[in-house]
Structure 1
Amino acid sequence: MMTSLFSSFDPASNNLQMNWMFMFSTMMIMPMNFWMKKSRMIFLKKILEKKLTNDLWNSTNNKEMLIFSTSLFMMILSMNILSIFPYTYTPTAQMSISMSMALPMWLMLMIFGWTIHTNFMFKHLLPSGTPSMLMPMMIIIETVGSLIRPISLSVRLTANLIAGHLMMTLLGNINSTNTIMMILPIQTMLMMFESTISMIQAYVFTTLVTLYSSEIP
């Protein structure tokens, strides 16, 4: 029984904590070495990886970062798409999951940049051509902007998924016979819109991480 509007985002169940096992389903879907033959799913995955790699190549020339970003995109996309199905738990709609992906990546880039390219990181805090009177303010703004990057990444992903799922929950609670013919087309359009949002948010998260890495030489 649903006790509140946010009960669909609750990872706990009455009997077993099985909703957390939903996250491992993406790991079972992603590996393709266990398939006996090449299927349409494998071809679709290869096309997505090729398109994404060509797109991200303009942001960074680091091959390791491209492999990492592509794997991250496929993982987030799998969780977002699977969470659209009924009676499923949405891992990426939890701040704990989104922050656990954004914070380690941000720390990895910051530790690498400040330990290997310390002078460049100090120069990056002050854009070239800044007037002398604005230099202290620009340093503070750049520092704060760099510190809130993991928060903005996680909040953007979580908020967009929660908003769409809440709208679907509100429309699903309308069970009146008089309005069912009007609500059904709206629910169908909202389902398609939520599928698009799931793909866009996975792409945005991956692109921003790649752009942040391109700022470090």
Structure 2
Amino acid sequence: MQITPHLNTLKSAALVAAMTLAVLLNCERARADDIQTAIFAGGCFWCVEADFDKVDGVKETVSGYTGGDVKNPSYKQVTRGGTGHYEAVRITFDADTVSYRRLVDLFFRSVDPTDAGGQFCDRGESYRTAVFALDPAQAQAAKAAKAEARAELGQEIVTPILDAGTFWKAEDYHQNYYQRDDRVLTRFGWIPMSKAYDRYRDACGRDQRVRQLWGADAPFVKTGS
């Protein structure tokens, strides 16, 4: 007669544990649903990656190639031209923290969207700008952001809104280039990639041109650029 209450207590505890686990699993599923992807081409993918890694809510950035016809292209193939690919960055973000529309707005103000021939010192088809929309909602948000950017600048925006296709990850040495300590040979001698990146960005005039276009609305321009 004394066993029954004990069994009831164990059953109740098991039920509570099961319900708690179910709630946690549902929360995890809901959380996973908030993780989304954006793909932008903004000239040199090192720079786009460095910019968007600073945004609160961005979980990961990956440099790669998209928009062309060649499967798994190499950096040399893409930059030589003829593949149709853009240098692009795939951004994984938490939509609870930062919206897709916010990311597109930041993107337009981090590039020269009036330049159809490349970006800054990098010329050619692989350095053109583009927004690659993964679904109709992203396309709609990107078109609205483009219209707002055009109104703000008072100039034609040549950056197209394209349907996303296959994204090919770039070679490992391109990933997080701006943070790497591997040494590379430059006209300044053997220096870490991170320093080579800083000197490339300054020499290319990226921040200077973005500041000229967007002024105080340029989100990633270094102070003093």
TM-score category by the smaller chain?
Answer: under 0.3
Which structure shows the bigger proportion of residues in strand conformation?
2
Which structure shows the bigger proportion of residues in helix conformation?
1
**Which structure has more RCO (C-alpha within 8 Å, separation ≥ 6)?**
1
Give the TM-score of the pair, scaled to structure 1: 0.23
Structure number, greater radius of gyration: 2
